[in-house]
Homo-oligomer: A and B are copies of this chain.
Amino acid sequence: MANIKQLSESQEDYLEAIFTIASKKGAARVKDVADSMKVASASVNRAVSSLTEHGYINHERYDLISLTDKGREKASQVIDKHTALTQFFREVLCIDEPEASDAACRMEHAISDTTMDRISFLSRFLLDSTKCGHNWTSAFKAFCIDTQDLQGEDACRCTKA
């Protein structure tokens, strides 16, 4: 269980997918993860081995996959970022789904805890009219109304809840 290691984006994606599946069904099978991430089972297998070695996952051959406390904590962190970013994109920046989730999906790995906290604060601040002091959204919407030319964005393999 080598602890001195940063998870890669890919590994975070696996934890996220396992967390989401396990939340719904108690535990995940390799196939579930493969399907939800649109990768081959062999890829899941290798990722699972590695994450098991590093103490994020409980897994024995041919058995179900579940997260350890450590894995659950990490997965929660990533999912919280995803959720907060999605909210920011959708409610503050007025970006529609699925763009909002896709953007969150790509950024959740790249953003630091600090920056994430600040963005959450900003969201709450702006969405709470008692804090912000006036309804800024209509003004902001008018301000960026002509940028509705939302291009297609890359599909992303985030588990589409």
User: Hey, which bits of chain A sit against chain B, CB under 8 A?
Assistant: 6, 89, 92-95, 99, 102-103, 106-107, 109-115, 117-119, 121-122, 125, 131-134, 136, 139-140, 143-144, 147, 149-151, 153-154
Closest Cβ of chain B to A104, distance in Å, is 9
Give the 6 A-B residue pairs with the shortest CB-CB distance, closest first.
A93-B118, A106-B110, A121-B144, A112-B153, A110-B110, A103-B115
Note all chain B residues with C-beta closer than 8 A to A147: 114, 117-118, 121
Q: Are A143 and B121 in contact (CB under 8 A)?
A: yes
A114 contact from B117, B119, B150, Cβ within 8 A: B150
User: Once bound together, how far apart are the Cα atoms of A147 and B120, in whole Å?
Assistant: 12
Q: Are B112 and A151 in contact (CB under 8 A)?
A: yes
* Residue with the highest number of chain B CB atoms closer than 10 Å, among A103, A122, A131: A122
Note all chain B residues with C-beta closer than 8 A to A132: 136, 139
Closest Cβ of chain B to A102, distance in Å, is 8
User: Once bound together, how far apart are the Cα atoms of A144 and B122, in whole Å?
Assistant: 9
Note all chain B residues with C-beta closer than 8 A to A117: 144, 147
Q: Are A133 and B131 in contact (CB under 8 A)?
A: no
Note all chain B residues with C-beta closer than 8 A to A149: 114
User: Once bound together, how far apart are the Cα atoms of A154 and B6, in whole Å?
Assistant: 10
User: Once bound together, how far apart are the Cα atoms of A109 and B9, in whole Å?
Assistant: 14
